[in-house]
Amino acid sequence: MYAYYLWFKAGHIAFMVTWFAGLFYLPRLFIYHSEADDPEGRSRFTLMERRLYAIMTIGAVLTLVFGLLLIAANSALLSIGWFRVKLILLVALAAFHLRCRTWIGKLEAGYSNKDTRGLRWFNEIPALFLLLIVGLAVLKPF
């Protein structure tokens, strides 16, 4: 299995990029959706959000699959401090992902708020996760 380790790592990174692309863009769609005034525009944003959520969920699942293959190929990772912190961050990121699904339903049900400051801050959360997770994986600080 270790012979495929680099292939697993490449798949893990490629699908992580797909997942994060969705995590970066979906909250931005929430802002636009919340500010939309016309029913046709709101309907269009709902469709875009649902499709993007499906794509990023596929990216998340495949990131998980390749991550589990990496752990299976090198179970020693589980005993390393930085990796354990990375796993905790990934659980929190999965919660953020699921929270995005909640926002889709809320907006589809008619939520509208012209004060989008909260959503604009929500939009920045994936960048923080990306910096922390990649920083841990590359720097391996402990």
User: Terminus-to-terminus CA distance in the chain, angstroms?
Assistant: 26
The residue ranges of every structural domain in the chain are 2-139
CA–CA separation, 100 and 56 (whole Å): 11
What is the pLDDT, as a whole number, of residue 113?
A: 81
Q: Are 111 and 34 in contact (CB under 8 A)?
A: yes
Token pair listed for 56: 């990023």
What is the pLDDT, as a whole number, of residue 42?
A: 96
The DSSP output letter for 37 is -
The DSSP output letter for 79 is G
Tens of each residue's pLDDT in the chain, 142 residues:
789 999 999 999 999 999 999 999 999 999 999 999 899 999 999 999 999 999 999 999 999 999 999 999 999 999 999 999 999 999 999 999 999 999 999 999 998 888 899 999 999 999 999 999 999 999 999 9
Buried b (16+ CB within 10 A) or exposed e, 18-54: bbbebbebbbebbbbbbbbeeeeebeebbeebeebbe
Residue 105 contacts by C-beta under 8 Å, 6 or more apart in sequence? none
